[in-house]
Amino acid sequence: MNIKFWGVRGSIPTPLTPHQVRAKISAAVQRITAADLQSSDSREKFLASLPAWIFGTAGGNTPCVELTTSDNQKIIFDAGSGLRQMGKSSVLSESLHYNMFFSHFHWDHIQGLPFFDFAYNPNVTIDIYSPFDDMAKYLSEQMVSPYYPVTWEALSKKINFHVVKPGQEIQLDNVKINLARMNHPGGSYSYSVVENGRKFVYATDVELTNDDFDVNNEELKAVFYGADAVVLDSQYTVEEALRKANWGHSAFCFAVDFAVAWKIKNLYLFHHEPTYDDKKLNSILESARWYSKYIAHGEIKVHLAVEGRELRL
């Protein structure tokens, strides 16, 4: 399976500000030498040597992750503003059928659906899955006047809704999907996808508690245990997580602890705090990697979820 990040930011879309762009340019200029400008190769080498926070960005779109199975099925996790970019970057011939799984229905996870071009194509089928019985109501009510000029009725007539619950395994051809309820205001759900013996987990919007570390919890075990890659809410530093208790999000170090408990191989820090710039996110990544080496002895690889980045399992 192939996974691609289209939106990794939490709470609200967060484009780079003019000040942040100038800061990146200034930081790059301060590092350059005459030797770096001698040839195209030396210039490319210089750019490649820059820290990730200078030469690039984690991105500002809200959550949307695309998974493509080995037989080319399309599975989309959440419909944040990143879904718009996915629609603009994809070719219709790639798929006329999308399976869309929602963690929950807070705005940052649904706001991209009205801007998903393929949803308006009458030939496209979209199967939507969620444990929330009123999912159709939640999605359609953001497309009413005066909030949006186009109503739900303008979308494809081939949009189908499926209510799924924890403990109910979903079979999509040769792919198996399980889900678990997580601690978040109003509830949120994580999903695991297993194909050809490899497991991927999408677990956004969770404030980890002691209960989430109970390795005897069968619901959590079915989703998380031994996963090859987990995309996990790591929105805060420890200090901010303590200040924002009960807001429904986790600190990066708690995410590392969680990965250790469930024997996860690759942890992707996700749902980035909108007030954190790229430099701070890079600092959080370095701290998470240090902490992982300290408590897991290098057995867990920690990554930063970045828009446009792909991983293959």
Report the helix count and the strand count for the chain, using DSSP H and E.
8, 14
Q: Cα–Cα distance between 60 and 184 in angstroms, integer? A: 22
Enumerate residues 6+ apart whose C-beta is below 8 A from 94: 72, 74
Backbone angles phi, psi at 111, to 5 degrees: -70, -15
Enumerate residues 6+ apart whose C-beta is below 8 A from 232: 201, 203, 204, 206, 250, 255, 258, 259, 267, 268, 269, 270
Q: Which CATH number is 2-17+63-312's, of 3.40.50.300, 3.40.1280.10, 2.60.40.10, 3.60.15.10?
A: 3.60.15.10
Enumerate residues 6+ apart whose C-beta is below 8 A from 190: 103, 179, 180, 182, 201, 202, 203, 204, 206, 223, 224
pLDDT at 95: 78
Structural domain boundaries in the chain: 2-17+63-312
Q: Cα–Cα distance between 181 and 200 in angstroms, integer? A: 17
Q: Strands 159-163, 2-7: parallel, antiparallel or unpaired by DSSP?
A: unpaired
Helix (H) / strand (E) containing 194 = strand 188-195
Report the predicted TM-score, pTM, of the whole model to 2 decimal places: 0.96
DSSP 63: P
DSSP 272: B
Half-sphere exposure of 78 (CA within 13 A, CB side): 34
Enumerate residues 6+ apart whose C-beta is below 8 A from 220: 180, 212, 214, 262
Type of residue found at 285: L
Task: Give the pLDDT of the chain (313 residues) as one tens digit per residue.
Answer: 999 999 999 999 999 999 999 999 999 999 999 999 999 999 999 999 999 999 999 999 999 999 999 999 999 999 999 999 999 997 665 679 999 999 999 999 999 999 999 999 999 999 999 999 999 999 999 999 999 999 999 999 999 999 999 999 999 999 999 999 999 999 999 999 999 999 999 999 999 999 999 999 999 999 999 999 999 999 999 999 999 999 999 999 999 999 999 999 999 999 999 999 999 999 999 999 999 999 988 889 999 999 999 999 9
pLDDT at 217: 96
pLDDT at 297: 84
